[in-house]
Amino acid sequence: MDDKHFPHFELTRSIIGAFFEVYNGLDYGLLESLYSSALDSELRSRGHAVVRELAVDVRYKGKLIGVQKLDMVVDGLVIVELKSTAALHPSFRRQLISYLNAAKMEVGLLLHFGPVPKAHRLFGRDREGRLGSIQ
């Protein structure tokens, strides 16, 4: 499938562009909170609405079992999860898919401010209830 057919393609492209702008300005080795602040600023300068630390309910069989805070939601459409670790553990991808499903959102970005910057698009459950995929 052509990238342009992914949901919210233009928005995720803009967020990824902002991610690389921040990475190129700050490089590797800072705390995640600093990258988050810089990315928030960069996204807002590009005209995006940003909500940080958004709390979403997590339910099991309809019962509230807790609350999960999302790193960032952009334009109410894309969850952004930031990592500033040396290596990107595979569990981080699964974590974001779980966040997407809890928030009932379709698209997430896992942005890794590591030694080599990486951006991953992830998708939550589709309309048939199948688990998301990674692009």
Q: pLDDT digit string (tens) for 11-35? A: 999 999 999 999 999 999 999 999 9
Domain residues for the domain of 116 are: 7-123
Which CATH number fits the domain that encloses residue 30? Answer: 3.90.320.10
Whether residue 128 is predicted with pLDDT greater than 50 in this model: the reply is: no
Residue 107 lies in a domain: yes
Query: Is residue 110 predicted with pLDDT exceeding 60?
Result: yes
Would you say residue 43 lies in a domain?
Answer: yes
Kindly state the tokens that stand for 24: 């190129």
% of the chain beyond a pLDDT of 90: 69
Residue 130 lies in a domain: no
Q: Is there a domain that residue 128 lies in?
A: no
E-strand spans in 6-113? 50-60, 63-74, 78-83, 107-112
Q: Which of 37-46, 52-61, 125-134 has the lowest mean pLDDT?
A: 125-134
**Tokens read off for 94:** 């699964």
Tell me the whole-structure pTM to 2 decimals. Answer: 0.86
Convert the pLDDT of each residue in 37-49 to its tens digit. 999 999 999 999 9
